[in-house]
Amino acid sequence: MVNIKMALPGIQTLGQLKTSGYKSVSIKDEMRNNLIQFLKSGKSPFEGIFGFDDTVIPDIERAVLSRHNILLLGLRGQAKTRIARLMVNLLDEYIPVVKGSELNDDPLKPVSRYARELIAQLGDETPITWVHRNERYVEKLATPDVTVADLIGDIDPIKAASLKLHYNDERVIHFGLIPRSNRCIFVINELPDLQARIQVSLFNILQEGDIQIRGFKLRLHLDIEMVFTANPEDYTNRGSITTPLKDRIDSQILTHYPESIEVGMKITAQESKLTVDQTKNIHIRQEIRRLIELVAYKARSSELIDEKSGISARLAISALENIVSTAERRMLINNEAGTDVRIGDIWGIIPSMTGKMELVYEGEQEGPYSVAQDIIDEAIKELFLEYFPNPEALKKAGEKDPYATVKKWFGQAYTIELLLSEPDAALKDKLLSVSGVQELLRAQKVDKKDETFFGELLLHGLAAFEVITKELIDNQITFSDQLADFLNDLNDN
């Protein structure tokens, strides 16, 4: 094929295009040919998609090589739309179209009456223009109010009146989104939301590659790569994909959530939108990033959350942004030049969670705020166990309790109150004032510079395992031993 990028400045007419050696190919062949080049070079057209290298991406590549229309099926937040948008990388950088054509007519294979008549009139002098691949992507969100006219087209009475044409003249047709996406990738998101009678209008496009509008004997042989996205939960909640339509979609590809914490962390880091000041002034430990991802994982496996609805990757992304903003707010209040994100800042992510969880009946009874707190505690427990011994396992095994000193300190009715806006220096002093904390940190070979973080993790972890009690009220977290407090109150009385 001619190097279109080099030929672009000089090729402005049909005659010049013919002499250049340009050959027309269908969009499916175009994508197939470009994918072959990607595979041979070892590069990927789907840069920035993590966790799908051995599952989803190979399925998509096989579908493209097979020249298939595609359905991406998966729960929310599984990068379905992102993948569809990246498919433009499989298109040629530029393609020629007949100038003025609303259907992106190929100058060598025109489909519209306008283009055919213009070429018949001007011949090799027919003007052409060039369309970049980024302009060859069309996306439509399926909603119940979408009509056949929106997608396929309808008679336009205004056009008929202005051109003084009869209604049986095909020039009075106003083409819908799909015909105007000729030689493009056309994506319908949330396909089950499209009414069944509207889905029927897609049958011919997928099977025969043409459309019919109203009663016109009009057959436009369109050249379109059709991509659909759907959430399997939508099949029962809002609608379904009709069986004949599913049968006509060549490849159905299942997406999934990240299969490891590390992949989830990559996605969250890539997608989170932190400001330059936040990145510069606020340090986010890897342990904090891991904790955020653990929250998302624990939410996906929680019995209180509807697993069919799923927990979007957006939960972790929003949570990371919120926890950084929680640290930033504290830094600004205390007029500090910089700060570290703390374990205590994790409570600032609850607003990022409550709107992204579909609760089952038991969860509704407990309430979204309490469910979010429980999930955070489960995530803290898992992170805690990566650095400290399991209090429950030690008790069962009858081994020496490394937490005995800490428990005794709280058992003497001592409490520690940590403000969420506590300055960094004051927080460290309070944490290390708890008897046994420094000894435990030394036993785990914690560096001096990390004492604040791991001291805080220690107390939050022990509270999550119910060794001590944690109470969050407004802007303050209080660690104590409730039984000791109760007995102390009795003695005072």
Average pLDDT over the chain reads 88
Cβ(321)–Cβ(272) below 8 Å? yes
Tell me: do 269 and 364 sit in the same domain: yes
Say whether both 41 and 157 belong to one domain: yes
Q: Minimum mean pLDDT among 78-82, 164-168, 487-491: which range?
A: 487-491
Question: Token pair for residue 184?
Answer: 């493009």
Do both 60 and 102 map to the same domain? yes
pLDDT grade for 152, boundaries at 50, 70 and 90? confident
The confidence score (pLDDT) of residue 388 equals 94
Domain end, chosen from 234, 254, 274, is at: 254
Asked if residue 129 belongs to a domain, the reply is yes
Residue 394 lies in a domain: no
pLDDT at 71 over 90: yes
Assess contact for 195 and 235: CB atoms under 8 A: no
Measure the CA–CA gap between 71 and 50, rounded to whole angstroms: 19
Domain end marker among 335, 354, 386: 386
- State the pLDDT confidence band at 394, using cuts at 50, 70 and 90: confident
C-alpha 141/C-alpha 343 separation (Å) is 39
Same domain, 193 and 267: no
d(CA 309, CA 239): 15
Shared domain check, 263 and 242: no
How many domains are contained in the chain? 3
- Confirm whether 391 is domain-assigned: no
Same structural domain for residues 347 and 479? no
- Tell me: pLDDT of 157 over 80: no
| pLDDT attached to residue 268 | 95
Closest residue by Cα to residue 142 from 206, 191, 202 = 191
At residue 429, does pLDDT exceed 60? yes
**Res 423 pLDDT > 80:** yes
Residue 376's CB: how many other CB atoms inside 10 A? 24
Inside any domain, residue 459: yes
- Do 262 and 200 sit in the same domain of this protein? no
Residues 114 and 52 in one domain: yes
- Note the pLDDT tens digit of each residue in 347-367: 999 999 998 999 999 999 999
Instruction: Tell me what the mean pLDDT of segment 20-26 comes to.
Output: 91
Element (H, E) at 182: none
**Is this model's pTM higher than 0.75 or not?**
yes
Residue 62: domain span: 4-254
pLDDT class of 198 with cuts at 50, 70, 90: confident
Range in 62-76, 155-169, 179-193 the model is least confident about: 155-169
Least confident of 122-131, 219-228, 232-241: 232-241
Please check whether residue 94 is in contact with residue 133, taking contact to mean a CB–CB distance below 8 angstroms. Answer: yes
Same structural domain, 82 and 142: yes
Q: Are residues 72 and 44 in the same domain?
A: yes
pLDDT for residue 53 is more than 90? yes
Query: Which residues does residue 175 pair with via DSSP β-bridges, in sequence order?
Result: 153
- Taking residues 220-239, report their average pLDDT: 79
> Are 411 and 377 in the same domain?
no
Same domain, yes or no: 90 and 102: yes
The last residue of one of the domains, among 386, 415, 447, is 386
More confidently predicted of 75 and 220: 75
Tokens 């990566």 found at? 386
Whether the pLDDT of residue 398 is over 90: the answer is no
392 found inside a domain: no
The CATH number given to whatever domain includes residue 283 is 1.10.8
294-328: pLDDT as tens digits = 999 999 999 999 888 889 889 999 999 999 999 99
What's the pLDDT tens digit per position in 73-132?
A: 999 889 999 999 999 999 999 999 999 998 999 999 998 888 999 999 999 999 999 999
Residue 288: which pLDDT band, with cuts at 50, 70 and 90? very high
More confident residue, 3 or 228: 228
Residue 59's CB is within 10 A of a number of other CB atoms, namely: 17
Does residue 342 form part of some domain? Answer: yes
Q: Does residue 101 belong to any structural domain of this protein? A: yes
Q: Tell me whether residue 137 is in a domain.
A: yes
CA distance 419 to 476: 4
What local confidence, expressed as pLDDT, does residue 406 receive? Answer: 93
Share of the chain above pLDDT 70, in %: 88
